[in-house]
């Protein structure tokens, strides 16, 4: 799909994931996000299951360590056959370049396509106050995210994770094919939960998002399939 809607599988066990995906008539239409909670519980087996179902897979482990450690971890991840992976841009350009090299090495070893490498800029739970008074960043949020995205681009990343509030700024300064993947997506009627910088799917589409990530508004809905269709319609038609 040209504009993926990535479902964050915020479950703590494989059985709940199976029940959720079994409700969808054609899971091959889905792009799913496997985060730390699920991957640390189920391990690579969850990736194998998603691949059997035909899902596109976003493995969101947000690696953040010294360059060599991240590279060797990415060698392993590159062999799994996922479509997207994440690192923290705050790890610096050397770490990002090492991540890219590790992915290429691992993918080649298992004859898999190289996943898109996405650098996390600032988490959507980070407010301007936290950025200034806890992270002690010298730049305001818009400039901070742009600086991190520019560095990630120069280091060979394929895109970034950012909030919808920074999309317009990024699109003004980065090439059109640089991916901007946006979490914190909620319909206006849905609660924001623990995320601060949120937006609706139609607003993210209009401002230039390449993909959006939706979790609990779909996974915790009374009818997850209907909720997915509702978000899809709003996202794809703008």
- CATH code assigned at 71: 3.20.20.70
Residue set of the binding site: 10, 33, 60-69, 124, 186, 195, 215-216
Q: pLDDT tens across 86-119, in order? A: 999 999 999 999 999 999 999 999 999 999 999 9
d(CA 198, CA 162): 10
Q: Residue 177 belongs to what domain range?
A: 5-236
196-200: average pLDDT: 73
Q: What band does 167 get if pLDDT is binned at 50, 70 and 90?
A: very high
Q: Average model confidence (pLDDT) for the chain?
A: 93
What is the model's pLDDT at position 10? 86
What is the model's pLDDT at position 82? 98
Residue set of the binding site for substrate: 10, 33, 60-69, 124, 186, 195, 215-216
**CB of 164 within 8 A of CB of 143?**
no
Residue 192 scores a pLDDT above 60:
no
d(CA 134, CA 40): 28
What is the model's pLDDT at position 187? 87
pTM beyond 0.95, yes or no: no
Could you tell me the two tokens for 50? 């998603």
Phi-psi category of residue 142: left, alpha or beta, with phi > 0 → left and psi -120 to 50 → alpha = alpha
Q: How many domains does the chain have?
A: 1
214 phi, psi to nearest 5 deg = -125, 130
What is the model's pLDDT at position 194? 55
Which of 54, 60, 57 is closest to 81 using CA atoms?
57
Q: pLDDT tens across 118-159, in order? A: 999 998 888 999 999 999 999 999 999 999 999 999 999 999
91 phi, psi to nearest 5 deg = -70, -15
Least confident of 34-43, 103-112, 183-192, 204-213: 183-192
**CB of 163 within 8 A of CB of 131?**
no
What is the model's pLDDT at position 232? 95
Active site residues: 60, 62, 65
């Amino acid at each position: 799909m040209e504009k993926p809607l990535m479902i964050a599988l915020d479950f703590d066990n494989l059985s709940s994931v199976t029940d959720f995906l079994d409700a969808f008539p054609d899971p091959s239409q889905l792009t799913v996000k496997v985060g730390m909670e699920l991957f640390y519980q189920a391990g690579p087996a969850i990736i194998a299951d998603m691949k059997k179902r035909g899902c596109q897979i976003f493995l969101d482990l947000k690696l953040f360590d010294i360059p060599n450690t991240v590279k060797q971890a990415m060698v392993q991840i590159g062999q799994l056959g996922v479509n997207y992976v994440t690192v923290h841009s705050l790890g610096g350009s050397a770490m990002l370049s090492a991540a890219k090299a590790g992915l290429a090495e691992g993918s080649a070893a298992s004859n898999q396509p190289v996943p898109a490498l996405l650098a996390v800029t600032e988490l959507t739970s980070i407010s301007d106050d936290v950025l200034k008074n806890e992270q002690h960043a010298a730049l305001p949020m818009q400039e901070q995210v742009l600086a991190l995205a520019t560095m990630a681009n120069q280091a060979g990343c394929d895109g970034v994770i950012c909030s919808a509030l920074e999309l317009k700024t990024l699109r003004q300064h980065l090439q059109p094919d640089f991916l901007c993947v946006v979490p914190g997506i909620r319909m206006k009627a849905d609660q924001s939960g623990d995320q601060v910088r949120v937006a609706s799917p139609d607003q993210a589409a209009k401002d230039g998002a390449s993909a959006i990530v939706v979790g609990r508004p779909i996974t915790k809905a009374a009818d997850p399939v209907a909720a997915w269709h509702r978000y899809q319609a709003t996202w794809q038609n703008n």
